[in-house]
Chains A and B, each alone.
Chain A
Amino acid sequence: MKNFKEMTLSQKRGLLASTGLPMVALVLMVGFQNCSPGVVQSTKVASTGVSGPSSLDLESDTKPVTVTYSENLVVSMQQLTGVETLSARAKTAATNALPKISETGKADTVNAPMWIAVTNLGAEICLDLITAEKAVTVADNRRFFNKIDFAQGATAITDAAKDDLIRRMARNFWGRNESVAEKTLLKSTLDAAMTEPAAANQSVTAETENALLFTCAAMLSSLDAIRF
C-alpha cells in the first residue's frame, strides 16, 4: 500500500469514500460534485440502514450542515487525536489547508479543494499520532493502537485489532461508536488497499503504519469528525 501522500486522487477518493456510511454520500456530493444544496437531502438517503446511534437524526437535518471552520479545524483535530505537538509536515499541511478551509463552515462554502485539504491535514495529524503511539512501548498504555504490533507487517493486524482501533477512533473522532455497516466498509476498503503493491523500498513494518494511517486519515477527515 502506498503512503497517503503518494496516493492518486482516485485512491484518495476511495479512501474518502470509506469514511463511514452517513458520510459517504456527503463526502462524495460535497467533496466531489460540489453540489452543496443536496447536502441535507443526502444525509437522509445515506442514513438508511445504519444500525446503532447515528448522529444524523431528523431534527438536525432541518438545518444545513456546518463544519468546523478556519484555523479552528486544526485545533479541533488536535483535540480529537490528542496530538499536542504538530510535526513540521503537519504544520505545513495546516498552512496549505487554511486558505482552502471555509470561513463560515456553511455547507455551501464546502468544496472539493477544501475536502482534499482537510484530508491531507487529517493524514498528517494521523501520522503524528501514529508516531507518538508507536513510541509508547507498553501497548496497553496506548490510546488507539493497543492491539497493534508495530514490529510486524500489516498482515499481522488481526481482525480484532482492526475492530478495536476503528472503535477507538470512532469514539474520539466521531463522538459515537461506529455502525456495523461503517465498520464493514472501513475494513473492506482497508483490506483492498493493503493488497496494492507496496511502494519501493518500503519495509514490512512501514506497511503496518500505512494501514493505520489509512484508517485514521479516513476517519479523521470524514464529515462526522469535523461537523458541528
Chain B
Amino acid sequence: MMKTSRFDTRLGESRSRIVSSTSVKMLLSMLSIVAASKANAQNITPIPAVRPDPNGAISAERTRAQKIFQALTAVRVPIDDARIVQMEALIRQGNLRGAAAVASKDPLFLDIQIRDTAREMSDRDETVRAPMSDFVATFIGIVRDSDTTSAKEMLTGNFYYRVDPAIIATLPTNATVRQDEAADILTSNNHYADIVSRGLSPQAILIRQSPQRISQRANNIETPVDHPDPAGLMTTRSFTGAHAVAGTNRRMVEYSFREFMCLPMTEFADADAPDDRVARDVTRTPSGSVNLYQSRCKACHGQMDGFRGAFAFLDFTNNAARIGTNVVNKMNRNQTEFPQGYVTTDNSVVNYATLGKNVDQLGWRSALTGNGMASFGKMMADSRAFSRCMVRRAFKRVCRRSPLTQEEQVVRSLADQFEIDGYHMRHMFENVAIQPQCVQ
C-alpha cells in the first residue's frame, strides 16, 4: 500500500518552531503553483480572470454573497465573479444555506480557511503560521469528507491523511513528494512539507490511510507498526511532537482541552475536585503553604493528573511519537517532592472534571473512566464542550471575532444542530456563516 519511491535518510529533522523563512518558502511555493499550471486539479484553485461589468447593478444580495464567500473561504473574490453571481441568485430565492454551500464547496474553503483553522490548533503557538503537517492534513481531510465522517473522529479516528501515492506517481521526479513511511511520515514532517513546496492543493490530493501508524526504534533502526492506541488528531505526529516532547505529558491534557474543548486550564480548574491522582512531583506545600496547594495547585492538577494517565505510555523522542507497554519515566519523576503522591502504574484515566460549573460547560455524556488515549479521546468527542468548541472555532474564523457572552445561546443551538447533522463540519461552517450576527 505505502509506496516508498526512495529512502530518505534525513531523520534528524528538528521539529522546531516555524520561523518566518519557512513561511516565506510556503508562500513562494504557493505562488509557484499558480504559475505551474491552472488546468491541473492537483494544484491550488485556478484564478478566474473576472471581467468587471461596469454598468451592472450591485444588489444587496450580491454584496452579502461576496461577504459570505469571503467569510467562509478567507479569500476575497470580485463581486462579478461567477461564484458570487450564483450565490446571489440563491440568496434571492431565500436559500442562504445553498449560497453558503457554493463557498464551502469551493477548493479555497478547504485549502485556505480549513487549513488555517487546523494550523491554529496544531502546535503550541496556535497561529496560522504553523506548518502543513499530518494534523493539518488530517483535519482538512475530515472536513472534506464531512458527508461520510463525523467530526468526532478528530478524537477517535484510527486513520490519517496523506498524499495519494497514485498522484505522487504522476509528479516529475524533481518535484516529487517524499513518502518513505518511517523517514518522511513518522519521524519527520517531510511528506507534509512537500505538499507546500510542490504547491499542491491539499483538498485535491489527500487520501485517508488506515490504521494510524507509529515507528518503533531499536538499534537506530526505525520500524513502522500499527498504532496501539489511536485517537485521531490527538495522536498525530505533530500534536504529540508539540505536547508530548519532554515535560510530564500534562501538556497533552492541557492542549487537548485547549484545542478540542476550547478551554484553557484556568477555565475548568476546580479546587473541589479530588486530588488522589496528583503525582509525587507536585509539592503539597508550595512556599511552605498547604493552603496554596489546596486552592491553586490542586485546582488544576487534581483533574489534569487524573486525565494524564491516558498518556502514560506515550513519549516523543528522536523526532517521533513512541508508545510502549510500560509507563514512561516522566510520569513518575521527582518522586521526593511528595512521596505519598499518586504513582502511575498503568494508562488508566479518571475524569474528575465533573463538578460545579464543569457539569454544564463540559457536559460529559459517556464513560468517565477508561484506559489510554482512545478512551480520553472518546470522552472528549462525546462531550457537549467538543461540539460547542467546533462551533466556536468556526465562528471565530468565519465571523472574524469570538462569540460574545450574550451569544452563548447561539453557540449552543448551532452546536445542537451540528450534532443533529451527524457532526458534519462543512454544514456547520455554513450554518455559522449565515447567522445574522456573523456576516452583515
Binding site for B on A (CB under 8 A): 53, 55, 57, 59-60, 63-64, 66, 68-72, 74-76, 78-80, 82-86, 91, 94-95, 98-99, 103-105, 143-144, 164, 167-169, 171-173, 175-177, 225-226, 228
Q: Could you tell me if B52 and A84 are in contact, using CB atoms closer than 8 angstroms?
A: no
Closest to B48 in A: A82
Q: Is the interface of B mostly helix, strand, loop or mixed?
A: loop
Cβ of B169 under 8 Å from chain A? no
Please tell me if the beta carbons of B54 and A176 are within 8 angstroms of each other in the complex: no
Given A99-B20, A176-B63, the answer on whether A84 and B34 have CB atoms closer than 8 Å is: yes
> Is the pair B38, A228 in contact by a Cβ cutoff of 8 Å?
no
Tell me whether A228 and B128 are in contact in the complex, defined as CB-CB below 8 angstroms, given that A53-B58, A84-B46, A175-B78 are known contacts: no
CB distance from B253 to the nearest CB of A (A): 27
- Taking CB as reference atom, which chain A residue is nearest B399? A63
User: When the two chains form their complex, are residues A70 and B31 in contact, meaning their CB atoms are under 8 A apart?
Assistant: no
Q: Which residue of A lies closest to B62 (CB)?
A: A175
Q: A169 to chain B: closest CB distance in Å?
A: 8
Hey, which chain A residues are within 8 Å of B76, CB to CB?
Answer: 68, 76, 79-80, 175, 225-226
| Bound form: Cα–Cα A59–B64 in Å | 13
B27–A74 CB distance below 8 A: yes
With A74-B30, A95-B24 given, can you name 17 additional A-B contacts, CB distance below 8 Å?
A: A64-B401, A68-B74, A71-B23, A71-B27, A71-B30, A74-B27, A76-B75, A79-B47, A79-B75, A80-B77, A82-B50, A83-B47, A84-B47, A85-B34, A168-B52, A172-B79, A228-B400
Residue contact A70 to B129, C-beta cutoff 8 Å: yes
Asked whether any CB of chain A lies closer than 8 Å to the CB of B112, the reply is yes
Q: List 26 A-B contacts (CB under 8 A).
A: A53-B58, A55-B63, A64-B401, A66-B400, A69-B128, A72-B74, A74-B30, A78-B34, A79-B81, A82-B48, A82-B49, A82-B78, A85-B35, A91-B32, A94-B27, A94-B28, A98-B24, A98-B27, A167-B52, A171-B54, A171-B56, A172-B50, A172-B78, A175-B78, A177-B58, A228-B70
Contacts A72-B74, A98-B23; is A143 near B49 (CB within 8 Å)?
A: yes
A-B interface contact total, Cβ < 8 Å: 130
Contacts of A98 in B (CB 8 A): 20, 23-24, 27
CB neighbours of A74 from chain B (8 A): 27, 30-31
The answer to whether residues A172 and B112 also contact, given A91-B28, A103-B127 and a CB cut-off of 8 A, is no
Q: Please, what's the 1-or-0 string for B65-79, where 1 marks a CB less than 8 Å from any CB in chain A?
A: 011001100111111
Taking a contact as CB atoms under 8 Å apart, the answer to whether A175 and B47 are in contact is no
Task: Please state if B34 and A175 are interface contacts (CB–CB under 8 Å).
Answer: no
CA distance A175 to B74 in the complex (A): 15
A168 and B27 form a contact (CB under 8 A):
no
On chain A, the residues within 8 Å of B52 by CB distance are 143-144, 167-169, 171-172
Let me know if B440 and A59 touch, CB within 8 A.
Answer: yes
C-alpha spacing A143/B50, complex, angstroms: 7
Shortest CB-to-CB span from B114 to chain A, Å, is 13
- With beta carbons under 8 angstroms apart, the residue of A69, A86, A103, A177 that contacts B35 is A86
With beta carbons under 8 angstroms apart, the residue of B63, B71, B440 that contacts A175 is B63
Q: Are A172 and B28 in contact (CB under 8 A)?
A: no
Q: Does B6 contact A (CB under 8 A)?
A: no
Instruction: Give the distance to chain B from A79, nearest Cβ to Cβ, in Å.
Output: 5
**Given A79-B75, A80-B78, A103 and B58 touching (CB < 8 A)?**
no
Interface residues of B in 93-138 (CB under 8 A from A): 108, 112, 116, 127-129
The reply to whether A171 and B31 contact each other, CB–CB distance below 8 Å, is no
A83 CA to B48 CA, complexed, in Å? 8
Please name all residues of chain A whose beta carbon is closer than 8 Å to the beta carbon of B35 when the two chains form the complex. Answer: 84-86
Measured CB to CB, the nearest residue on chain B to A105 is B400
For the complex, what is the distance from the CA of A78 to the CA of B52, rounded to whole Å? 15
Quick one: which of A71, A95, A167, A175 has the most chain B CB within 10 A? A175
- Report the Cα distance A79→B107, complex, angstroms: 13
Q: Which B residues are CB-close (under 8 A) to A69?
A: 74, 128
User: 3 closest A-B pairs (Cβ-Cβ)?
Assistant: A82-B49, A171-B52, A172-B78
Q: Determine whether the beta carbon of A79 is less than 8 Å from that of B78.
A: yes
- Are A79 and B34 within 8 A (Cβ)? no
Q: Report the bound CA distance from A80 to B47 in whole Å.
A: 9
Q: Of all chain B residues, which has the CB nearest A66?
A: B400
A residues less than 8 Å from B337 (CB atoms): none
Contacts of B153 in A (CB 8 A): none
Please tell me if B53 contacts chain A, counting CB pairs below 8 Å: yes
Q: Which of B23, B56, B63 has the most CB of A within 10 A?
A: B23
Tell whether A171 pairs with B80 under 8 Å between CB atoms, given A103-B127, A143-B50.
Answer: yes
Q: Which chain B residues lie closer than 8 Å to A164 at the CB level?
A: 54
B206 at interface, CB cutoff 8 A? no
